[in-house]
Amino acid sequence: MQKSINIYNNKGFSLMEVLIALLILAVGLLGVAALQTIALKTNHSAYQRTQATFLAYDMLDRMRANRNSAMAGDYNLAVATDPTATGTLAEQDINDWINNNVSQLLPAGDGSIDCTNLGVCTIVVQWDESRTGGTATAASDVIQFTFTAEI
């Protein structure tokens, strides 16, 4: 003997399954969007760190080309100092490096150079990293890369 199923008691059951599936899909898509946002932020941060590395090595190469001036301290520069190009190669290099490279490629970019008479130079490149989630006024948002090399 066959048992008959009353299909009228199951009204709306398939609709509930579809709504639950859509809810699960929406939560999954929100997770993917959040993951993509985090990936973009960290990718941009890595890009800025790469730029800082290139900029530091650019200045090291300039100082290697003008080694005597670098060892004499002509390339020394403090953070937040506005360089002026007045004629010497070292001053022109510093002006070009800060005004045309560091400040253009990095947000609130700045740098400093400190060379000893032994040929050991420390180059610091810093910039504002607030786009990765912090506030612009927090001291922890200023990323500072230090490169020490012998010329």
- Predicted TM-score (pTM) of the model is 0.75
What is the average pLDDT score of the chain?
A: 84
CB environment 59-90: b (16+ within 10 A), e (fewer): bbebbeebeebbbeebbbbeeeeebeeeeeeb
Name the DSSP class of 1: -
Has residue 4 got a pLDDT over 70? no
Render pLDDT for 47-64 as a digit per residue (tens, 0 to 9).
Answer: 988 998 899 999 999 999
User: Domain residues of the chain, as ranges?
Assistant: 50-150
| Proportion of the chain above pLDDT 90, given as a percent | 44
Q: What single string gives the DSSP state of each residue in 69-131?
A: HHHTTTT-B-TT------SSHHHHHHHIIIIIIIHHHSTT-EEEEEE-TTSEEEEEEEEE-GG
Render pLDDT for 85-120 as a digit per residue (tens, 0 to 9).
Answer: 778 999 999 999 999 999 999 888 899 999 988 888
